[in-house]
Amino acid sequence: MKAGKVFLVGAGPGDIGLITVKGLEAIKQAEVILYDRLANPKLLDFAVDDCELIYCGKLPDRHILRQENINDLLVEKALAGKTVVRLKGGDPGVFGRVGEEAAALVQYEIPFEIVPGISSGIAAPLYAGIPVTHREYAESFAVVTAHDKSKEGKPLLDWEGLARSVDTIAFYMGVGNLPFICENLLRYGKPSTTPVILIQWGTFGRQKTLQGTLADISAKVLEEKFSNPAIILVGEVIALREKISWFEKKLLYGRQILLARTSAGPSELARELMDQGADVIEFPKWKKVKLPINLAKVTSYEKIFFASPENVAEFFTTVIESGMDIRKIRADFYGASIKSIKALKERGVIAKLSEEMPESGDLLIVGDDSTLKKEYRNADILITSKKELDFKFVPIFKRMLEEADIDTVVFPSSGSVEPFVEGLRECGISAEELLTNVQVVSMGNQTIDAVMDFGLRSIGMPKKATKEALVEFLAAKQVEDV
């Protein structure tokens, strides 16, 4: 069997918008993805439904998979003819052990590519308002490992060179060794007043910072119980933070939102919330399973109504694959929403909204919404696909919950409540327990009623059921105990 190919991809520091175009394309074509703890799990949403996902996460006190096992898996999957992505947080060449993985692939003559990513040591400071170089403050910059593979884990570095010759130093994953770092920089000449900042979960909405000096930062870390993952930045350039801090000024910065989902496609609402600085976890994760479609009677209808843009795509794909001449379909076309109308227009079909549909005439509904059948009792329904909970994302969702501190849950529609509660139950999680001391926001009166039907409590709703109104509502509502 011909060997597959491996892409060793840098996922960037956290914000999914910071992955490279080439890295994203690799994810989209992957048949197997081995991903790290610090690679944002939301990037896995771009993988195909049947992609195999393997977690290789590492914590300071334990390894899910050791590096040797990861190397073996890369080789095994590639030799089976698979397209494999190794997804690593930040840049794979900066403390990412990509050299070891590439060497293992070379040994078996497996083709591979290395796709660079944005390193956390540069990105996290920028999201905290700090460029690592500046003509007036810093003309040199170094990235340094804050621990090594020795028994004590304390790195053997040229401390004198770092202290005397480098203006800005970024230490990776070194919170546990911070006193050791400060002690050595002070010993070799760095002033005790030198600014230090720790940036935890850099570029995520949950990003936190802790600022001090070489003299007092270690005590502050103990007091605040600050922990990894964090970048430690040392240098006078930190003074710029007061002038050019930008990320922390976003309307929803610091919000950690759990968004109830009803569709399998990308969410514009989630995108807007993230653009405004929030962390967003979407649940449940759905996948669509295509169903066989019988087009025998499709030419006999006078009206065809599409319940969603996805149904439009599925219907026309089937028509094309069947070899049917589209001109034989003489029905007038209608859509449930502006998005459905737009999807039809992109297919060269002029359609109208359902409100303009006459009562007379044989009607075919393309979709799977049972409420439509109740409204149009004499219609036939053509179901193009069915939606299923994607269970391979359940452990991913649980890990995301463990590392987040959810303060807000958003239900965008009444139909999102039951799948959310049932999906949590499938995960072994009680919705009532999860939403204790969490702000529950409902988009509309019907949604509030649905939330209350499940014994949950909503703090209210935005003025309109739009993403802009939701952002305004959340920005005005301070996160507090419920």
Both tokens assigned to 210: 């802790």
Alpha-carbon distances, residue 379 vs 119, 221, 303, 356, 387 (angstroms): 56, 66, 10, 16, 22
| Residue (of 239, 232, 221, 118) closest to 170 by Cα position | 232
Tokens of 40: 């944002």
| Bridge partners for 287 per DSSP | 388
Cα–Cα distance for residue pair 178/232, rounded to 1 Å = 8
The catalytically annotated residue of 15, 173, 190, 461 is 173
Rounded to an integer, what distance in angstroms lies between the CA atom of residue 264 and that of residue 48? 12
Please answer whether residues 234 and 171 qualify as being in contact, where contact means their C-beta atoms are separated by less than 8 angstroms.
Answer: yes
Q: Catalytic pick from 5, 15, 36, 274?
A: 36
β-pairing verdict for 286-290 and 385-389? antiparallel
Residue 193 exposed, middle or buried by CB count within 10 Å (0-12, 13-18, 19+): exposed
Return the structure tokens found at 63.
């390894």
CA distance 35 to 339: 34
By C-alpha distance, which of 407, 399, 389 is closest to 280? 407
* Active site (annotated) includes residue 449: no
Cβ contact 182:198 at 8 Å: no
Q: What angle do CA 250, 252, 254 make, to 5 degrees?
A: 100
Structure tokens at 61: 């006190």
Q: 355 burial class (0-12, 13-18, 19+ CB within 10 angstroms)?
A: exposed
CA–CA distance, 236 with 87 (Å, rounded to integer): 34
Instruction: For residue 196, give the 3-state DSSP assignment.
Output: strand
Report the C-alpha gap between 277 and 253 in whole angstroms: 4
325 in catalytic set = no
36 among known catalytic residues: yes
Amino acid, single-letter form, for residue 284: P
Q: What are phi and psi of 422, to 5 degrees?
A: -65, -40
The residues carrying an active-site annotation are 36, 58, 173
